[in-house]
């Protein structure tokens, strides 16, 4: 057996390789995938660094389930509630897909906050990753806005009044607050256009923004690489070395005769007792 | 540069070099490539392209923005909604009615208070964050289920977070022949029932806000105080 021929043997493998080659020659796909996925990462990368992907995965879940729900949902004040009853009680697996969308929304918010806490506690937002943090903060706002607009679509009493209160909180922001609230609810009060406006924002406006900013976020993550945890051995060694160098430099700068003298701290006063007294 | 070389050549002052006439004179180039003040054709056409692109983009975005937001921030027109004869709101009672019809205030719930010889139309929208307040007959007061706001019989705040009293609707009374008997604008907000024909129709107009002295101001959103320093945060 020779080991030099390790390429694909079967026709399927050959076709697959040919297609990959075709795309790579024209679009640089292999280069892009290598750049994006085959990066060097710190040796002590752990499960904590998977929270961002988990949040993105819930976005995918919400997008797919939301697309199917939109096929049955009717964003009209007279039919919205009954169309949701129809989805839940009559359409095959409607209860399941609606439940995935509902609980996926909560899971997404939780994962986004855990991801943000990880980035904050690891100090991963520091130079040169400030822009990654900024795009993430914009994503957070958009995710919260998805929660607000999606909550109204259920169109029951709780959804209605919770959104009325949320809109009035928006309107109580100084100076521009009333305008923002008026634009969001399509008038100075809740009206038939409010529901379809929230529906459009929920399924067209914000998802487009989230997808765009996830792209920017991932580009920055890929370009800058990920940080190691603060307890990484390499980082600790580096910190210790930096501190030692800083101390050495400070000693060098101090004038002769005034150099810092490290004294052992006295634990108790020394008392001398002279004999004979 | 090219010009000065030409001058040098004509004066024949370049030591050691041929200073006679040349078969081909150096081309006198007027290049402005390095002059930041000068607008070259390239610069001009780039500017035209950018400006034209901006105009075309605006031609698309301005109608979209207006379509999305202009109607929402427009002040609604005054519309009068007939809510029935005066006799259906008997003296000494506060009746709860739902406004129906084409008005943009339809589906609003209004408490018509006919007491002390005065007709008042109090909106059920809590002045705190817009929850629907409930009228309690026993205590003759209004309470909000959301955050504990409470108002007295006139809709003035007695407890809780609301920053101002309950909003009111304009009232108009029209008699059987269709003539307006009287209307109450934003000045008083209530209307004396003395000498009213019980069959005259009661009409509700636009809502307005009041301060704690029942002085009318323009309609505010919930959460906005109408007096005090903080009212300056909501100038429009």
Which is more confident, B181 or B10? B181
For domain A48-224, the question of CATH label 1.20.810.10 is answered with yes
Size of interface A-B (CB pairs under 8 A): 63
pLDDT in tens, B167-190: 998 888 887 766 666 666 555 556
Query: How far apart are the C-alpha atoms of A83 and A103, rounded to whole Å?
Result: 19
Angle, CA of B80, B81 and B83, to the nearest 5°: 140
Tokens at residue B193, please? 């029932």
Distance from CA of A82 to the nearest CA of B (A): 20
Distance from CA of A166 to the nearest CA of B (A): 8
Fold topology of B81-233: Rieske Iron-sulfur Protein (2.102.10)
Q: Residue B31: which region, alpha, beta or left (left: phi > 0; alpha: psi -120 to 50)?
A: beta
Look at B233 and A175 and tell me if their CB atoms are within 8 Å.
yes
CB B107 within 8 A of CB B98: yes
Q: Where are the domains of chain B?
A: 81-233
Q: Which residues on B lie below 8 Å from A158 (Cβ)?
A: none
Q: Which residues on B lie below 8 Å from A169 (Cβ)?
A: 129, 223
Q: Chain B residue closest to A197 (CA)?
A: B68
Q: Within the 66-85 window of chain B, which residues sit less than 8 Å (CB to CB) from chain A?
A: 68-69, 71-73, 76
Q: Where are the domains of chain A?
A: 48-224
Over residues A234-246, the mean pLDDT reads 90
Tokens at residue A220, please? 């920055």
Tokens at residue A78, please? 């007279």
Nearest-by-Cβ selection for B224 from A167, A172, A187 = A172
CB B86 within 8 A of CB B195: no
| Kind plus residue range of the DSSP H or E element containing B225 | none
Query: How far apart are the C-alpha atoms of B74 and B67, rounded to whole Å?
Result: 12
Most confident of A143-147, A175-179, A253-257, B144-148: A143-147
Q: How many CB atoms lie within 10 A of CB A51?
A: 19
CA A57 to chain centre: 10
Check if A186 contacts B (Cβ < 8 Å). Answer: yes
Q: Is the pLDDT of residue B39 over 70?
A: yes
Model pLDDT, residue A259: 59
Nearest-by-Cβ selection for B129 from A169, A186, A188 = A169
Check if B1 contacts A (Cβ < 8 Å). Answer: no
Model pLDDT, residue A234: 87
Check if B123 contacts A (Cβ < 8 Å). Answer: no
Check if A178 contacts B (Cβ < 8 Å). Answer: yes
Q: How confident is the model at residue A250 (pLDDT cuts 50, 70, 90)?
A: confident
Q: Is the pLDDT of residue B3 over 60?
A: no
Distance from CA of B166 to the nearest CA of A (A): 15
Task: Mark out the alpha helices in A38-185 (DSSP H runs).
Answer: 51-72, 80-89, 94-122, 130-153, 157-171, 177-185
Q: What is the mean pLDDT of chain A?
A: 89
CB B182 within 8 A of CB B90: no
Q: Is the pLDDT of residue B211 over 50?
A: yes
Residue B163 contacts by C-beta under 8 Å, 6 or more apart in sequence?
B127, B128, B223, B224, B225, B226, B230
pLDDT in tens, B130-157: 999 999 999 999 999 999 999 999 999 9
ipTM, two decimals: 0.74
Model pLDDT, residue B188: 53
Q: Which residues on A lie below 8 Å from B131 (Cβ)?
A: 161, 164-165
Report the predicted TM-score, pTM, of the whole model to 2 decimal places: 0.79
């Amino acid at each position: 057996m020779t080991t030099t021929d390790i390429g694909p043997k079967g026709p399927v493998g050959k076709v697959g390789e040919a297609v990959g080659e075709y795309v790579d020659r024209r679009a640089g796909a292999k280069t892009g995938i290598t750049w994006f996925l085959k990066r060097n990462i710190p040796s002590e990368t752990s499960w904590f660094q998977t929270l961002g992907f988990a949040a993105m995965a819930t976005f995918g879940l919400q997008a797919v389930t939301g697309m199917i729900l939109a096929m049955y949902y009717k964003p009209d004040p007279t039919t919205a509630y009954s169309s949701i009853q129809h989805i839940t009680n009559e359409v095959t697996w409607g209860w399941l897909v609606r439940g995935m969308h509902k609980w996926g929304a909560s899971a997404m918010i939780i994962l986004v906050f855990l991801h943000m806490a990880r980035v904050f506690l690891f100090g991963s937002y520091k130079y040169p990753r400030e822009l990654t943090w900024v795009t993430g903060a914009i994503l957070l706002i958009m995710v919260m806005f998805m929660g607000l607009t999606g909550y109204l679509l259920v169109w029951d009493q709780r959804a209605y009044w919770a959104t009325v209160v949320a809109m009035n909180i928006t309107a109580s922001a100084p100076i521009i607050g009333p305008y923002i609230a008026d634009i969001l609810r399509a008038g100075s009060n809740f009206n038939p256009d409010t529901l379809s406006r929230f529906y459009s924002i929920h399924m067209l406006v914000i998802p487009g923004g989230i997808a765009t900013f996830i792209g920017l976020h991932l580009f920055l993550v890929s370009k800058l690489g990920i940080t190691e945890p603060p307890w990484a051995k390499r980082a600790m060694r580096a910190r210790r070395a930096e501190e030692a160098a800083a101390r050495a430099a400070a000693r060098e700068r101090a004038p002769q005769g005034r150099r810092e003298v490290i004294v052992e701290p006295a634990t108790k006063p020394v008392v001398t007792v002279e004999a004979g007294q | 540069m090219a010009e000065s070389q030409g001058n040098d050549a004509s004066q024949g002052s370049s030591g050691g070099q041929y200073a006679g006439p040349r078969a081909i004179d150096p081309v006198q180039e007027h290049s402005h490539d390095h002059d930041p003040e000068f607008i070259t054709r390239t610069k001009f056409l780039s500017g035209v392209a950018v400006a034209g692109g901006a105009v075309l983009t605006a031609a698309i975005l301005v109608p979209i923005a207006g379509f999305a937001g202009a109607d929402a921030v427009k002040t609604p027109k005054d519309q009068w909604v007939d809510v029935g004869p005066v006799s259906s709101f008997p003296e000494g009672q506060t009746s709860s009615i739902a406004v129906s019809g084409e008005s943009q205030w339809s589906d609003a719930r209004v408490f018509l208070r006919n007491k002390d010889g005065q007709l008042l139309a109090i909106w059920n929208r809590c002045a705190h964050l817009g929850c629907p307040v409930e009228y309690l007959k026993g205590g003759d007061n209004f309470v909000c289920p959301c955050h504990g706001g409470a108002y007295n019989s006139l809709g003035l705040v007695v407890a809780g977070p609301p920053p101002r009293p309950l909003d009111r609707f304009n009232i108009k009374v029209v008699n059987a022949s269709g003539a307006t008997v009287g209307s109450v604008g934003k000045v008083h907000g209530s209307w004396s029932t003395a000498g009213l024909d019980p069959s005259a129709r009661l009409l509700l107009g636009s809502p307005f806000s009041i301060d704690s002295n029942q002085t009318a101001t323009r309609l505010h959103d919930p959460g906005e105080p109408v007096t005090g320093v903080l009212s300056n945060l909501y100038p429009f």
